[in-house]
Every structure is written in structure tokens, then in C-alpha cells.
Amino acid sequence: MRILVVGASGLLGSAVVAELSARHEVISASRGSDVAVDIKDVASIRAMYEKLGKLDAVVCTAGKAHFGPLAEITEEKMWIGLKDKLMGQVNLVLEGTQYLNDGGSFTLVSGILGAEPIKAGANASLVNGAIDSFVKSASIELPRGIRINSVSATVFTEALGHYGPYFRGFKPVPVADAALAFSRSVEGAGTGQVYKIGY
């Protein structure tokens, strides 16, 4: 398969590339890679697809959300997750459907906070829940047998140094465990599924 991985240079993206590249042609895209894309910018997404042409699968491991106390969150801070992680991925689907071959797939990334909220995580919870809902809804309307799923993982062992204080009491998982779920989505038959890792 010819698979596009958006966010390929990040912690999760690198693990997904390693997992999929053993069996498929993987095209890596991120802000600083040979295939550059800014998922906050629809024009950037459109230009990326036009450059790459037809694909068998699109995987996204990118997207930022804001972490901070609810009392200090402004509309501007809420837009961080809404514009980046949520609409960035939604636009990858809306713009990318025409470039997917029949029976192709999208795999998006959400996260445990959509189901298990934490203090200071309101923006991430909102965005992750919305992504999972979008996946379920889009799965019944995508044409030509195109599938769509999301991967929702708990905190990664490798990310505890940065995110550990937010996730007290959560059992972390290795990022490679989440990468396996992306293979399940890309190479399996499921659609409209939220693949939960570590919870």
C-alpha cells in the first residue's frame, strides 16, 4: 500500500512509520519533512495532496491541544485544539477523500481524555471526543468503500517526562502499542471504530 503518515516526525508518528514501513510504501509528512504540511492550513493540506496524487491510506498522528486550568482558558486557547488537532484532521479527510483509492482508509488520532477527563484537560477532552464522534459519523457517508477509524491511547511511557504530571494514576503504555492499532486500522476491515489503547 501507499500510505501517507502526517505527523511522521513526532513521537507517535515515528513509531507508526516504523510499524508500517516494514510492509508498505510510507510517505512521511510534517512541517519539517520533504513533504511539508501544516494541518491548520487547508491550502497547505490541499497542496500536499495535489503533490502526492493517489493514496491507499492516510494516517494522522499530528495535532496540538491546550492544557491549562478551565478558569484560565480563553476562546483563543480553546481554538488551539479546535483549529489544529480537530479541524486539521477533519480537513485531511474532507480534502483527501478524492485522493484515496477505492477501499482506502483514514486513521485519525484522538486520546483517552475524550473518555477519561483530567484537570486542565478541557480543550483536549473536547477535541478528542469530537474526533471520535466525527469518525463514527463520517464512516456511514464516505464513498467507494473508504474506511475511517481513530486511535485513542492513554499517555505514552516515553512522554511521561512532559505529560506525567497531568496523568497521575494513569497506567502509561509504550508508544509502539499505539502504533499497532494504526496497523489494525490501515490493514484491517473495520470502519467507524475507536481503537482504545491502555484503557
Integer Cα distance of 93 and 106 in angstroms? 7
Task: Decide: 121 and 127 in contact? Cβ < 8 Å.
Answer: no
Q: What percent of the chain has pLDDT over 70?
A: 100
* pLDDT value of position 38: 96
* pLDDT value of position 31: 79
* pLDDT value of position 32: 74
Which residues fall within 8 angstroms of residue 196, CB to CB, at 6 or more apart?
A: 112, 115, 152, 153
User: Above 80 in pLDDT, residue 184?
Assistant: yes
Write the pLDDT tens digit of every residue in 42-87: 999 999 999 999 999 999 999 999 999 999 999 999 999 999 999 9
Nearest to 132 by CA among 152, 116, 118, 146: 152
Burial of 156 (0-12, 13-18, 19+ CB in 10 A): buried
User: Above 80 in pLDDT, residue 34?
Assistant: no
Integer Cα distance of 185 and 86 in angstroms? 19
User: Above 80 in pLDDT, residue 192?
Assistant: yes
- Assign a CATH topology to domain 2-197: Rossmann fold (3.40.50)
What would the grid cell of residue 66 be? 491546550
Q: What percent of the chain has pLDDT over 90?
A: 97
What would the grid cell of residue 26 be? 510510507
What would the grid cell of residue 64 be? 496540538
The sign one gets for the Cα dihedral 6, 8, 12, 18 is positive
Average pLDDT over residues 123-139: 98
